Structure 1
Amino acid sequence: MFSKKHAATPRQSVPMASTGSTFSVIGSDVTIKGDITASADLHIDGQIEGDIACASLVQGESSHIAGAISAESARIGGAVTGSITARELVVLQNARIEGDVHYDTLTIEQGAAVEGRFAHRETGKHHAVEPALPDDDSEPKLHIAS
């Protein structure tokens, strides 16, 4: 009736990818008060009150971040109150940003709202979000195509 079986061997953990990259998700039901530093890619759907530093950031539409963001690449889809510094930045149509934006490459979808200054990281010059006066030729102007 009962037979002797060999004891099960414990499972060994197997990396998800051979590149060693990881991906962390902060769900919509999570609120974090404090700074976040991640060497991994980060997807945020929750509420963050603190600064974020990571390799790559994806922010969901319902997310709110109150703090500075620093990332190699960032896709902003929710609300951000604070500065953003990214090598490659995409501001999605539902994004609402209150703060200065520093970037190397920038894409803004129609419908996004930014209340702050844009500064290209290579030149460090600030570009007004609002149209410049017609006789003001001192700075390059920012044009957003639809």
Structure 2
Amino acid sequence: MFSKKPDEYSPSETRPVARPTAGGSTFSVIGSDVVIRGDIEATADLHIDGRVEGDIKCASLVQGDGSQIDGAITAETARVGGAVSGSITARELVVLRTAKINGDVHYDALTIEQGAEVEGRFAHRTPSRATAAPLASPKPSDDSEPKLTLAS
């Protein structure tokens, strides 16, 4: 009568729950003890705590502090906190203070926390570049001016 569905937990439980998002997809977690050699393409949102040796293309990416990505990242939104050796292309990009990026960064909106390390070039994506490398479902921007936010 008052039973829980198998994928639902009470708020007091601390383990994460994979629930469908508005698009019907869920998120996938790559744990800290996992090494993937090869490209990853997903419609789901990804949370990476392990090591990936290959390119990543997904809707949304969250990279944990201790993780390593050796390859290009293409995502609608990305929150980078670990080491990345490769280019990053994202509509909305947040570079956390723990991030160490070695590669070029292409963005529509960018936030960088103080202390982040980036060895590469930053380039605001123009409409011609955006069509050359489309993301999963690009949204039109309300303003053609580049957006840069410095977080403290």
The TM-score bracket by the shorter chain reads 0.7 to 0.9
Measured after TM superposition, the shift of residue 122 of structure 1 is: 1.7
Task: Give 1:65's aligned residue.
Answer: 69
Question: Do the aligned partners of residues 123 and 111 (structure 1) sit closer, same or farther apart at CA in structure 2, a change above 3 Å counting?
Answer: farther
Sort the Cα spacing of 1:143 and 1:66 in 2 relative to 1 into closer, same or farther, 3 A.
same
Task: Look at both structures and tell me which one has the larger radius of gyration over its CA atoms.
Answer: 1
**Corresponding residue for residue 93 of structure 1:** 97
Q: Distance in 1 between matches of 2:40 and 2:86?
A: 14
| Structure 2 residue aligned with 1:17 | 20
Which structure has more relative contact order (CA 8 Å, sep 6+)? It is: 2
Q: Judging changes above 3 Å, is the alpha-carbon distance between structure 1 residues 123 and 38 closer, same or farther for their aligned structure 2 residues? A: closer
Q: Per the alignment, in what secondary structure is the counterpart of residue 39 of structure 1?
A: coil
List structure 1 runs of 4+ shifted beyond 4 angstroms: 11-15, 142-146
The two structures have a TM-score, normalised by structure 2, of: 0.71
Which one of the candidate residues 77, 81, 85 is aligned to 2:85?
81
User: Unmatched 5+ residue regions in structure 2?
Assistant: 9-17, 130-147
The yes-or-no answer on 1:37 pairing with 2:26 is: no
Cα offset, 1:59, TM superposition: 0.0
- Relative to structure 1, the CA distance from residue 113 to residue 123 in structure 2 (aligned partners, 3 Å threshold; closer, same or farther) is farther
Partner SS, residue 33 of structure 2: coil
Asked if the contact 2:110–2:149 (Cα under 8 Å) also holds between the matched residues in 1, the reply is no
- For the aligned residue pairs, the C-alpha RMSD in angstroms reads 2.8
Tell me the equivalent position of 1:134. none
**Equivalent of residue 113 in structure 1, options 117, 123, 142:** 117
Aligned counterparts of 1:31 and 1:113: Cα–Cα separation in 2: 24
The whole-number CA distance in structure 2 between the counterparts of 1:64 and 1:143 is: 25
**Distance of aligned partners of 1:13 and 1:34 in 2 relative to their CA distance in 1, 3 Å threshold:** same
Q: Distance in 1 between matches of 2:80 and 2:21?
A: 28
1:40/1:118 Cα in 2 relative to 1: closer, same or farther (>3 Å)?
same
